[in-house]
Homo-oligomer: A and B are copies of this chain.
């Protein structure tokens, strides 16, 4: 097809939007290792998971054979308020880079949560409501997940309790206010409202908190309160399942114009966005139908795929959650305060970890100054001010497009632009003022994290 005919933005019709989520595990020969009960070290059962998660979500978490899950009508109606997201042809960026590469990005930032997180938040809120629960608890770091969940709970009239990492709570008052506008109760973590919070505060008075610690508090709050369950915005296989709406829309939009990408690039923190984007493409690879170069991009300062160990580990600092087999820096790993933005989780989705372990995708790490250079360049050319997280993928996409310029290859690059950076202006300010630096952990720096790995 003539490139002249491809619009700047490909929008699917409502009738073309996905009616099912795709469960990539069904097509994996090597299944992701099961979650383990931290006490018995045996695979988690449905009964055990139901204690923490809604029943339907627990089922999705454990199901590695059903390839498609129908998206309930109520969720599809909510999706229609902010989806389909556009698949954008980056004509202006291509021109500026003077590259023969064709660059597309799937933009998930055009909703008030500012990111793809809403795709799973609305699903999790729906199942909680359907089960007759009163509310849900969760943690949030940068605040995107918490905002998304607040929006979803407000829509389904569910109570929403968010444990927000204390340093973010203080540094990002506007994120907090967005959540409050949607009716959520936001507590800085660690807090005195949970036993694990009290314990952490006693051991580390004045701590700025961490995501792992906030997870522990949210889980405790859910399991200790009648009618509540815990929900999580990344890492879990159920979240990855919901996020496949990104990849399915992307694939439908590409198919509509008979475009076959050569490579697919996404940033990787807990892995939900990357997993959601690549799942339908990975499915083709797993079924032997087609091949793609798939690249995960992570921060140099939190390099779970590129420098982590493939091992069973705790998902949270408080060690109350199940163990997952994943690429991990150890639940005791604490990202440097130098690091701006998200992607600071110590582990990685067990689905993606297995795929990476099997050589089905690549990973690379980039420094944050490189990332912000790409973010600024992208903002000025394509108009969208990207989230720092998303800008990891931009960095890699630009690097690949520049390689094409050298080799003359007309590769088609698709990357995930997960969100906008409107609430990350502190980090941009540091960059604008020339005050941003990079932190590259030494092996010595990574040692305490690895030492925290459980001996199984």
Q: Which residues of A contact B (CB under 8 A)?
A: 7-9, 11, 13-14, 77-78, 80-82, 88, 91-92, 110-112, 114, 151, 154-155, 173-174, 177-178, 180-183, 376, 379-385, 420, 422-423, 425, 428-429, 431-432
Contact = CB atoms under 8 A, between A and B. Distances in A.
A340 to B, nearest CB: 13
A376 B14 contact: no
Query: Top 7 A-B pairs ranked by shortest CB distance?
Result: A174-B425, A8-B80, A154-B380, A177-B425, A112-B385, A422-B422, A177-B429
A156 to B, nearest CB: 11
Contacts of A384: 111-112
Nearest to A172: B425
A422 B179 CA distance: 12
A432 B177 contact: yes
A11 B8 contact: no
15 contacts: A7-B13, A7-B80, A8-B80, A81-B382, A82-B383, A111-B384, A112-B383, A155-B380, A173-B429, A174-B425, A177-B425, A177-B429, A181-B376, A181-B385, A181-B431
Nearest to A150: B380
Contact of A7 (B14, B178, B182, B382): B14
A286 to B, nearest CB: 34
A412 to B, nearest CB: 19
Contacts of A422: 112, 114, 174, 178, 422-423
Contacts of A154: 379-380
Contact of A379 (B9, B112, B174): B112
Contacts of A383: 78, 81-82, 111-112, 151, 155
A422 B431 CA distance: 21
A114 B383 CA distance: 11
A381 B177 CA distance: 17
Contacts of A111: 383-384
Nearest to A122: B383
A14 B431 CA distance: 36
Copies of this chain:
2
Contacts of A180: 428-429, 432
Contact of A177 (B77, B81, B173, B428): B428
A8 B79 CA distance: 10
Nearest to A109: B110
Nearest to A13: B7
A110 B110 contact: yes
A155 B112 contact: no
A75 to B, nearest CB: 13
Nearest to A88: B81
Given A111-B383, A182-B380, 11 more contacts: A8-B81, A81-B382, A82-B383, A110-B110, A112-B422, A154-B379, A177-B428, A178-B425, A178-B428, A181-B432, A422-B423
B432 A385 contact: no
Nearest to A175: B425
Contacts of A112: 379, 383-385, 420, 422
Contacts of A174: 174, 422-423, 425
A281 to B, nearest CB: 25
Nearest to A7: B14
A333 to B, nearest CB: 30
Contact of A14 (B8, B78, B432): B8
Given A80-B9, A110-B110, A422-B423, A385 B178 contact: yes
Nearest to A79: B8
Contacts of A385: 112, 178, 181
A383 B119 CA distance: 13
Contacts of A80: 7-9
A436 to B, nearest CB: 13
A380 B177 contact: no
A315 B423 CA distance: 34
Interface centre among A8, A154, A182 (most CB of B within 10 A): A8
Contact of A11 (B11, B81, B114): B11
B425 A381 contact: no
